[in-house]
């Protein structure tokens, strides 16, 4: 496979767009719901996720946003309730939880905090 590939639902609505270079995913990648709203947006570099990975609810609200480097989670990670309020926030280093992770209730108030180092749970601050 080379270049842009597009896929469609049985009803003719666009379901996915992906780009290839020499048979591997490379470049923008998008998936869509049948209502044409974006389901997922990401970028690949020579087969590995790179940069921001964003997933959306069917109503268009951001569901999650995770940073990737060379195919591994690396950097900020956030998930959101369908209302748009934040659900979790934290950081990854080489796909392992690092630093303080915060967990919020549906009203946006912090319910729990945890400290992590290289994927190992340390404590609740």
* 6-64 pLDDT tens trace: 999 999 999 999 999 999 999 999 999 999 999 999 999 999 999 999 999 999 999 99
| Domain spans in the chain, listed from the N-terminal domain onward | 3-123
C-beta of residue 88 within 8 angstroms of C-beta of residue 79: yes
Q: Which residues contact 75 (CB under 8 A, 6 or more apart)?
A: 67, 69, 91, 92
The pLDDT value recorded for residue 125 is: 63
Are the C-beta atoms of 23 and 48 separated by less than 8 Å? no
Q: Report pLDDT digits (tens) over 101-125.
A: 999 999 999 999 999 999 999 987 6
Spatial separation of the C-alpha atoms in residues 87 and 56, rounded to whole Å: 14
The pTM for the full model equals 0.91
CATH of domain 3-123: 3.90.930.1
């Amino acid at each position: 496979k080379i270049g842009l590939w597009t896929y469609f639902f049985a009803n003719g609505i666009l379901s996915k767009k992906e780009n290839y270079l020499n048979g591997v995913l490379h470049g923008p990648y998008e998936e869509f719901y049948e209502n044409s709203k974006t389901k997922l947006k990401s970028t690949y570099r020579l087969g590995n996720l790179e940069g921001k990975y964003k997933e959306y609810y069917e109503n268009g609200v951001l569901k999650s946003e995770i940073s990737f480097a060379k195919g591994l989670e690396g950097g900020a990670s956030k998930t959101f309730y369908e209302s748009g309020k934040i659900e979790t926030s934290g950081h990854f280093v080489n796909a392992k939880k690092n630093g303080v992770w915060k967990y919020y209730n549906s009203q946006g108030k912090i319910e729990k905090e945890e400290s992590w180092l290289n994927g190992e749970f340390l404590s609740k601050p």
